[in-house]
Amino acid sequence: MKESTTKKISIAILLFSAAIVVLLSMGGHINFTQAAVDDHPEVNTRSFYDGAVIRLIIPNNPGGGYDEYGRLISGFLERYTGARVQLVNLPGSGGMRALGELFKAPADGLTLGLINGSGIAFNQVAETSQMGFEIEKLSFIGRVSRDIRVLTVPAQGAYPSFEDILGARQALKFGATGFGGSTYVDAVISRHIFNLDVDVIHGFNNSSAVRLAMLSGKLDGAWSSLGSVSDEVASGQFSLVLQIGEERNPILPGVPTTHEFNGESLTPDLLQERLRIWSELHDIGRPLVAPPGIAPERLAYLREAFRLAMHDQALINRAAMSGRSIDYASGEEMEKYFEDLTQISPEIQAYIVESIRGEL
Amino acid sequence: MGILEALLGGFAQATSLEVLPYLIGGAAFGLILGVIPGLGGHFAMAMVIPFLHGLSPGAGIAFLLASHSTVAQGGGLTTILFSTPGCGQNAATLLDGPAMRNKGLAGKAAGAALTACFLGAAFGVIVLALLIPLLQQVVLIFGPAEICMLVLLALTFVAVLGKEDISRSLIAGLSGLFLAMIGLENVTNQDRFTFEVMALQDGLPLVPVILGLFAMAEMIDLWVTGGSLSGQQNRQLTPRQTQAQIFQGVGSAIKHWWLIVRCSSIGTLMGLVPGLGSTTASFVAYGHAKQTSRNGETFGEGNIEGIIAAESSNDAVEGGALASTIAFGIPGSSSMAIVLAGLFVLGLQTGPVIVTHHTDLIFVMIFTIIFGNLLGTVAGMFLVNPLVRLTALPSSLLVPVLMVVIVTGGYAVNSSVFDIGIVVLFGYLGYLMKELGYSRSCLLIGFVLGAILEKNLFLATQLDGAYFFLQPVALVLLIVTLGFLAYNIWSLRRRSLSTGSGKAGATPSEPGADFESGVAELNGSIEIWFTGIAGAAFAVALVTALGYHSIPARTPVLILSVLLALTARQFFISWRKYRQYASMTVLSGIVSDYPPLRKALQMVVLALLLMTFIVIAGHYAGIALFMFILLKLISGKELFFSLAITASVTLLLFILFELVFGIELYRGLLYRFMAGYKLF
């Protein structure tokens, strides 16, 4: 009896101290590195990252699109930074929750995040629902991918080309998900620029529901990202009739661009300006960012590591295998995109606002 | 390739030595995940995806789908044995599972649940196999108009589930519909009832709501009533008895084969429709079983048919859900989106090509789900015995540990501390509802279906015009719904006439009337407060909703108007009867006089403490402190015993979540402040 009590006590003490050690070491880890930085600001960046833990913030749940990109790049970021990369999924509020964490996190270069740059940029221009975040102040590491936006129609439908849509005799129905989302805004802008007779039916739960409605003949078309329909296009269920951009994307040589058609109601200058800003907003894509104000040498280090990672043949192969398109752009280029946005003309700004509100 | 050829090819692959180990590994992983509350099949598959690179298609599919298919079985076991449904799909099992456990029939309930799960899953995929030639046409039947009508039909099951007390059940169901309105409305982007809280923009999170409403509420109840989960001590089952019971359970599931066929059909149909999912399916199947059973009156008191209905339908959903994923390569749910991502990693082109060129792989999926479930059932049966023994542990030990596990699962779903608050809040709400006789199932059905109904109603009118319900399939569903409703109203009237009171349907049963004297008065007085506060909240919400534009305002205004009227009526009924006791719940006097109430209030304070600890000191320190306080200070356990339990549970959760699943639990404001985070 006595022996078993002693045994119990020793097991209890052992377990408890083990738990304490684990918890302390977990909490202490970042603090140690933090202290090291404060005491020796000249410490070599490479040795700072060696063995450190980078938290990579993902704005959706495991299994979501950003999560897949996060898991894709994390191993390669580890290889080129020397740090361990831990994914932290913070889903919610259309990415605003993850963005909030990026603005709260310390600017020590140990917190990174993937963000929906295009969506945020649209809202930035329209000055809506940004929760007061000044996006251009983020430290841009580079771009992981960008969506190629395409107008999709059912392959067996009555309007197999954009010319057919332009010449349609009756009102068409384009499907969209949420109000002010990209499928919605693209539909509204294209309707306005090309003077289409289109009802935008929005409120679908997700893009899958839109596509099923197209297949059942309830909808005539919908905007989407190439990535989400490429499989179904390959299998002959949908056709692509238009892509956003000035030049045809090399992987879509047969699909005309928005710049190839003239909007009848607009002067050429105004048309060009609107088409340009529309495609530029989509070019921002999905950047990798860090909190505002991280030290220049660490930013440079992270940018270089990211550049090497994105050009690693193994990453490129793996992305291709997972069906995820990658499209690298440097941190400097991303800064430039956001700088351009601050110089946007009031007319264009008003135009974007109207498109998000569906008032065009 | 011909269907028969594909079937044989699929079978050969699924049973080959190259594939089988992955099938077994996936099934084991899913079963373990199912036991942990909060993390469902969705998460299991997301975890598996990175390991698919380099696997053959057959092995990869087996690994992926097996991990998804056994989650419901693990969850079914914990629902019956510990009253903690892992996810929504097991919530309906809670209605009869724990009641059977309390009667000393835990083994029988578990045996029946596991068998029903397996048979339901098998049924679902067999239907899928039979549908292969017609898959595309079947999937396209369900557009917004048809979904609307199907949701309406499902909602009428509120009437069956709560027909003993139609007034309270309607209040619960409408409250569920109202709660579904919280968040950003996606037609106009109007923030509804969010009070500028960002975390509410996406609406109340489903899994934490379920965990709170059912699992947490049961823990509070257990804490208040004391004792152990297995009921009276002398009912503790021996391993041999348990074994015998499991086989009895298997036998009674097989005996109810016709019920399984019907409930599995409901599950498969619900699976075909995007968005409805297994939670709805299991409650509708439960309602159907109750409606058609000769022993309908004993549902909720430990009727094995209730368990069989719920568990057979929740796994049959999978067969239906796979249909649209396979037919078009378009996922019907987030889980199916992960299946598609997995198929892509395996180098398979999805969509119609898979139906025409890789039919054998569809059969690998089908056999994986059948074998995976069979494995889960057999392995689950071996788990029953050790788990049953745990139910004999006293509540003073089980409640702290299970509460901590529930809260951890609630956090892990969205990595959100806010969700822990939701679990706790809905825990209290669920406990009160249980005590006062408001159906939690009705609230959950309303909550799950409310948003789907509103969205699809809007889309149906946009796509098909105001008379969308006159389209063939929608019209048939509408007629079925009206017929069903009429039958239920008629049977209610008949019942009320035969009892002679003439208004039994309208008069609520007395809350807690079967308890010892004094409890009815206490519950009556609590109900005055409950309906009073709820009514005031609904009134405020109604005024708020009237300030919105017409599209976002119309649904909540309609729901709230009816809800407010019903709640007011209920308030006056309780007020008339119990007003002299209304002051009883005002803390004084009664707190010391009546231990259950004191313990319930104690739990309110303790759960608030738990949340505060977690927010300030972080998840691990928070749960450790909470467990220690409950074990040592409140239940008076030995110091070392309390320390050992606290340390080992905390450590186990740390290993499981941080190291195995890679989920970072909340570090707490204190830590964040020290690490240089801005706090707000």
pLDDT digits (tens, 9 = 90+) for A305-323: 999 999 999 999 999 888 8
What count of other Cβ atoms lies within 10 Å of the Cβ of residue B379? 18
CB contact under 8 A, A104 and B677: yes
Nearest to B125 by CA among B325, B357, B352, B370: B370
Structural tokens at position B507 = 């008069």
DSSP letters, A201-233, are: E---SSHHHHHHHHHTTS-SEEEEEHHHHHHHH
For residue A30, pLDDT beyond 50: no
Round the average pLDDT of chain A to a whole number and report it: 86
In order of B116, B423, B638, B664, the CA distances from B279 in angstroms are 16, 18, 42, 28
Instruction: Give contacts of B 149-208 with A, CB under 8 A.
Output: 186-189, 198-199, 201-202
Structural tokens at position B552 = 């976002």
CB contact under 8 A, B42 and A208: no
DSSP E strands, chain A: 53-58, 84-89, 111-114, 139-145, 149-154, 172-175, 198-201, 221-225, 238-243, 286-290, 329-330
What count of other Cβ atoms lies within 10 Å of the Cβ of residue B279? 26
Question: Low-confidence residues of chain B, pLDDT below 50?
Answer: 233-234, 501-516, 588-589
CA angle, B216 then B298 then B522, to 5°: 55
Nearest to B74 by CA among B124, B39, B122, B22: B39
What is the distance between the alpha carbons of residues A138 and A93, in angstroms, rounded to a whole number? 19
Amino acid at B678: K
**Inter-residue contact B45 to B335 (CB < 8 Å):** yes
Report pTM.
0.90
Q: Which of B187, B462, B674 is closest, CB to CB, to A179?
A: B187
DSSP letters, B230-288, are: TSSGGGPPPHHHHHHHHHHHHHHHHHTHHHHHHHHHHHHHHHHSTTTHHHHHHHHHHHH
Supply the pLDDT for residue B508.
43
| Chain B environment of A236 (Cβ under 8 Å) | 352
What is the distance between the alpha carbons of residues B251 and B271, in angstroms, rounded to a whole number? 27
Structural tokens at position B625 = 């402190």
| Chain A environment of B459 (Cβ under 8 Å) | 201, 203-204
In sequence order, which residues have a C-beta less than 8 Å from that of residue B399 and are 6 or more positions away? Answer: B219, B222, B223, B630
**Inter-residue contact A313 to A326 (CB < 8 Å):** no
Q: Which of B338, B350, B455 is closest, CB to CB, to A205?
A: B455
For residue A34, pLDDT beyond 50: no
Please report, rounded to a whole number, the percentage of residues in chain A having pLDDT higher than 70: 86
Q: Which of B48, B415, B632, B654 should one mutate to test binding to chain A, selecting the residue with the greatest count of A CBs within 10 A?
A: B415
Supply the pLDDT for residue B598.
81
| Chain A environment of B643 (Cβ under 8 Å) | 12-13, 15-16
Please tell me which of A78-92, A131-145, B34-48 the model is most confident about, judged by mean pLDDT: A78-92
| Chain B environment of A71 (Cβ under 8 Å) | 49-50
Beta bridge pairs of residue B584: none
Beta bridge pairs of residue A199: A173
Task: Decide: helix, strand or coil at residue B632.
Answer: helix
CB contact under 8 A, B53 and A67: no
Amino acid at B98: P
Residue A358, H or E segment: none
User: Look-up: residue for tokens 């499981």?
Assistant: B656
Amino acid at B194: T
Nearest to A47 by CA among A5, A81, A95: A81
Task: Decide: helix, strand or coil at residue B184.
Answer: strand
Mark A324-338 as b/e (b = at least 16 C-beta within 10 Å).
bbbebbbbeebeebb
Amino acid at A85: V
Alpha helix ranges (H) inside A194-330: 207-215, 226-234, 268-283, 296-310, 313-322
Supply the pLDDT for residue B35.
87
What is the distance between the alpha carbons of residues B314 and B334, in angstroms, rounded to a whole number? 16
| Chain B environment of A129 (Cβ under 8 Å) | 189
In eight-state DSSP terms, residue B481 is: H
Structural tokens at position B545 = 């909703």
User: Look-up: residue for tokens 């309270």?
Assistant: B168
Is residue A202 less than 8 Å (CB to CB) from chain B?
A: yes
In order of A88, A126, A291, B163, B205, the CA distances from B561 in angstroms are 42, 36, 47, 22, 25
What is the distance between the alpha carbons of residues B459 and B551, in angstroms, rounded to a whole number? 12
Q: Which of A201, A203, A235 is closest, CB to CB, to B329?
A: A235
Supply the pLDDT for residue B355.
80
**B22: exposed, middle or buried (C-beta count within 10 Å: 0-12, 13-18, 19+)?**
buried
CA atoms within 13 A on the CB side of B238: 3
A·B CB contacts under 8 A: 199
Supply the pLDDT for residue B623.
96
Beta bridge pairs of residue A291: none
Please report, rounded to a whole number, the percentage of residues in chain A having pLDDT higher than 90: 53
**Inter-residue contact B665 to B620 (CB < 8 Å):** yes
Is residue A171 less than 8 Å (CB to CB) from chain B?
A: no
What is the distance between the alpha carbons of residues A189 and A125, in angstroms, rounded to a whole number? 15
Task: Decide: helix, strand or coil at residue B484.
Answer: helix
pLDDT band at A13 (very low <50, low <70, confident <90, very high): low
CB contact under 8 A, B275 and A205: yes
Minimal CA separation from B680 to chain A, in Å: 7
Q: Which of B198, B332, B650 is closest, CB to CB, to A96?
A: B198
**Inter-residue contact B266 to B313 (CB < 8 Å):** yes
**Inter-residue contact B451 to B180 (CB < 8 Å):** yes
- ipTM metric: 0.86
| Chain B environment of A219 (Cβ under 8 Å) | 463
Minimal CA separation from A148 to chain B, in Å: 19
Query: For residues B500 and A351, which has the higher predicted lDDT (pLDDT)?
Result: A351
